[in-house]
Amino acid sequence: MGIGYQKALGPLGWARSCDTENRTTIARAARRCYEMVIGPMDEVDEFRPGAPLWPLLNGAAQLLDIDPGRAEAQAREILKNVPAQQQTLTLLVSALRAQGKTDSARAELESLAAEHPGLAAIHYELGLLLGELGERGAAIRALSRVVELEPHHPTAWRALGDELAEAGNTETAAKAFARQLESSVMDLKMLENMAGLGQHQFEIAGTLVREFLNIYPTDLGALRILGQLYMKAGRFDAAEVAFARALKLDPGFTAVRQDYLAALRHQSKPEEENRQLDIFLEDEPEHLGYRYLKALALARSGKSRESIQYCEDILRDHPAEARVWLAYALALRTSGRTEDCITAFRRSLELDSGLGEAWWGLANLKTFRFSAGDIETMRAALDRENLADDDRCHLHFALGKALEDREAYGESFEEYRLGNALRRAQHPFNGSEIADNVQREKALFTQEYFRSHSGQGCQSAEPIFIVGMPRSGSTLVEQILSSHSQVEGGGELTAITDIARRLGPLDGIQASPQTGESVRTLDTLDLNSIGERYLELTRRVRALSLPHFTDKMPANFHHLGLICAMLPNARIVDVRRHPLACCFSNFKQLFASGSGPSYELSDIGLYYRGYVELMAHFDSALPGRVHRLHYETLVRDPEAEIRRLLEYCRLPFEEACLRFYESDRSVLTVSSEQVRRPVYAEAVHHWRHYDRWLGPLKTALGPVLEVYPAIPETF
């Protein structure tokens, strides 16, 4: 077979399975791969010496479902001319099995194995067949012979690993899986190259890898590439699952564990990050990079005191490491030590003036003001040709904030625009997913749905969900509630997203991971168990034994139907802010997760519009279930709004809720400094300084903007 055919077929391991159910999938995926690499393929129905085999093999594979006898005849004809050709052997075995001739297939392979003891292809097909017949020991012996003959046979190593794992020999299985990965890297390289060519090839690569994994679910290299494709698509939850599957097969797969860490970091899962970093540090306790990441993860998980001490320990050994000073500053910030935090940021910039994240860290304090010298230093850093895109992006946002504070709004907007353009190029956003999710949720979670499921679900009243848009005032509301003696502030918990993801399959690269992909099966699930699962997940991150806790993940509004179904007694607070104020505040905020709609004005406007439409639906389906709190009203009359909020949450009024800014709890969000001050009104109309540039946002918001704070009759 020519090199072109090998390139096309290599990453798919075409037709190396005898599973009748997968034959058509294999042939279709391999053909698509062939045509992308080689070009259009003509059908051939007879063997011609010297002609390429693949067109004939593809035609024969298509015959397997309709005329397996003819497929068998074609395979035997090819084998007369090309003895023991691997794909043809697979075709022959599949044709025999399709006719119910499993014994004939086995006899054929055993005869060929005796006749050609040095041909790995025959032992490979025999090993697969024996494995499917349940003769595990014989299968292991046959597959071991394959890798003895061809030590770089990736699919043989994978099949051997599968058999060893089924036999309970997990340690040897992991070694086999690792050998499979080493052997398949070059084959899988083509898919990596395809993923970098453009959106069309990227989506095709994702489809091919998933089809491949449907057949070979234990292929480590394919699992890693699938995870990396999901990372590029901003599907960090799906990437996490792919990487976790690979690690389960081979816990020593260091590169994947590093990928797994990145996926966790993008989803703000510091507790699991800490566990993974401990695995790295157990082997390399002095590794500076892992220690730095550990310090960040401790801070993000709310363990600010531990993070501060951890950073101080590192800095004793490495006092000139700019990024460790950066981690130290972030830990100090979460604990409320603002002046010390500023000093640490300044020290990191003395060591590296191009460290964009440190400049943005200062800007993100909100109360900090840059000097004229700072502005010139940032501009000089942006002039560097070798500045990394990530540093450049952070610097644009920081400079935008510095110019905003100096009332240079035109220049400020341009810096925000440049920073957003960079981030959007790194993390494309598909707005149609949001619109599709809104319509799915509305169709699935109707009044009739909730009426028919009345009385189901976990009856706990512990959770208080705070939902809405980012930058709407949700952190302020959580700070108020967590100042109550009966409420623990939980922060932005990922438990709902985790549950929603596990309720459904991971389909297309661009498919939405929102609840709508999962709830189609809710009628068959135990809603009480799902609610209990949520409580179990959140209990792990609760430090206090209080009657209630907050879950302040704004995007949980996507999952509101699931929340209402599985936790019918949970309180839900929707914090809403003027659409222009809220959306522009998102546009000028650089979020740590990197993904989302905030990097384009029209995207964030459509996102806000979809949010209002979905919340309006639940107002109709479950009247009174959600408490709406408008940020502007809270600013204007805080005591009255706080009393209404506590009454809805069935909590007695406490004066401490009015003095929320005196709380010493760690605050991990971008509003950490603002919630340590009394309610202030200066941000309510700040967006007006940028009004002339907000045309695309206004257009996208449409009727939602026109009638705010009322709800449009139509969207």
Q: Which residues contact 361 (CB under 8 A, 6 or more apart)?
A: 326, 329, 330, 333, 345
For the ranges 5-9, 436-440, 480-484, the one whose mean pLDDT is highest = 480-484
Share of the chain above pLDDT 90, in %: 50
Taking 80 as the threshold, does the pLDDT of residue 55 lie above it? no
Total Cβ atoms within 10 A of residue 608: 27
Comparing CA positions, the residue from 467, 497, 435 lying closest to residue 235 is 497
CATH of 431-707, picked from 3.40.605.10, 3.40.50.300, 2.40.50.140, 1.20.120.1760, is: 3.40.50.300
CA angle (20, 22, 27) in 5-degree steps: 110
- Overall average pLDDT of the 156-172 stretch: 86
Q: CATH code for 232-386?
A: 1.25.40.10
Taking 70 as the threshold, does the pLDDT of residue 384 lie above it? yes
Out of 169-178, 375-384, 402-411, 685-694, least confident range: 169-178
Q: How confident is the model at residue 377 (pLDDT cuts 50, 70, 90)?
A: very high
Torsion (CA) 418, 419, 422, 428 in degrees, nearest 10:
-110
Q: DSSP assignment of 548-574, as one string? A: EEEE--GGGGGGHHHHHHH-TT-EEEE
CA distances from 263 to 120, 274, 414, 595, 667 (A): 39, 13, 31, 12, 23
Q: According to the model, what pLDDT value does residue 215 have?
A: 67
Tell me which of 369 and 506 has the higher pLDDT: 369
Tell me which of 509 and 100 has the higher pLDDT: 100
Q: Phi and psi dihedrals of 564, rounded to 5?
A: -65, -35
Q: According to the model, what pLDDT value does residue 183 have?
A: 62
Q: According to the model, what pLDDT value does residue 150 have?
A: 82
CA distance 623 to 644: 17
Out of 36-45, 55-64, 298-307, 312-321, least confident range: 36-45
At 575 the three-state DSSP class reads strand
Q: According to the model, what pLDDT value does residue 319 have?
A: 96
Per-residue pLDDT of 67-82, as tens digits, reads 888 888 888 877 777 7
Strands (E), 526-622: 548-551, 571-576
CA distances from 20 to 66, 159, 552 (A): 12, 17, 49
Per-residue pLDDT of 418-460, as tens digits, reads 999 999 988 878 778 788 889 989 998 999 999 999 999 999 9
Q: According to the model, what pLDDT value does residue 281 have?
A: 95
Comparing CA positions, the residue from 324, 418, 404, 33 lying closest to residue 188 is 33
Tell me which of 694 and 266 has the higher pLDDT: 694
At 263 the three-state DSSP class reads helix
Six token digits for residue 663: 């709380």
Per-residue pLDDT of 625-684, as tens digits, reads 999 999 999 999 999 999 999 999 999 999 999 998 887 655 555 444 454 455 556 667
Comparing CA positions, the residue from 568, 694, 579, 577 lying closest to residue 636 is 577
Is the pTM above the cut of 0.85? no
Q: According to the model, what pLDDT value does residue 643 have?
A: 97
Tell me which of 593 and 9 has the higher pLDDT: 593
> 3-184 and 232-386: same fold?
yes
Burial of 466 per CB tally in 10 Å (0-12, 13-18, 19+): buried
Q: Phi and psi dihedrals of 448, rounded to 5?
A: -65, -40
Which residues sit opposite 630 in a β-bridge? Answer: 576
**Are 79 and 65 in contact, with CB atoms under 8 Å apart?**
no
CATH 1.25.40.10 given to domain 3-184: yes
Comparing CA positions, the residue from 644, 668, 473, 449 lying closest to residue 560 is 449
Q: According to the model, what pLDDT value does residue 106 have?
A: 87
What's the distance, CA 274 to chain centroid? 18
Rg (CA), the chain: 29
Share of the chain above pLDDT 70, in %: 80
* Domain residue ranges of the chain, discontinuous segments joined by +: 3-184, 232-386, 431-707
Q: How confident is the model at residue 60 (pLDDT cuts 50, 70, 90)?
A: low
Comparing CA positions, the residue from 666, 670, 647, 646 lying closest to residue 656 is 646
Per-residue pLDDT of 166-185, as tens digits, reads 888 888 888 887 777 666 64
Taking 80 as the threshold, does the pLDDT of residue 351 lie above it? yes
Tell me which of 142 and 541 has the higher pLDDT: 142
Q: How confident is the model at residue 515 (pLDDT cuts 50, 70, 90)?
A: very low
For the ranges 208-222, 226-240, 495-509, 599-613, the one whose mean pLDDT is highest = 599-613
Q: According to the model, what pLDDT value does residue 11 have?
A: 35
Out of 1-15, 51-65, 202-216, least confident range: 1-15
Question: Angle 236-249/495-502 helices, nearest 10 degrees?
Answer: 70
CA distances from 597 to 235, 560, 708 (A): 14, 20, 21
Total Cβ atoms within 10 A of residue 322: 17
- Overall average pLDDT of the 260-270 stretch: 87
Q: How confident is the model at residue 594 (pLDDT cuts 50, 70, 90)?
A: low
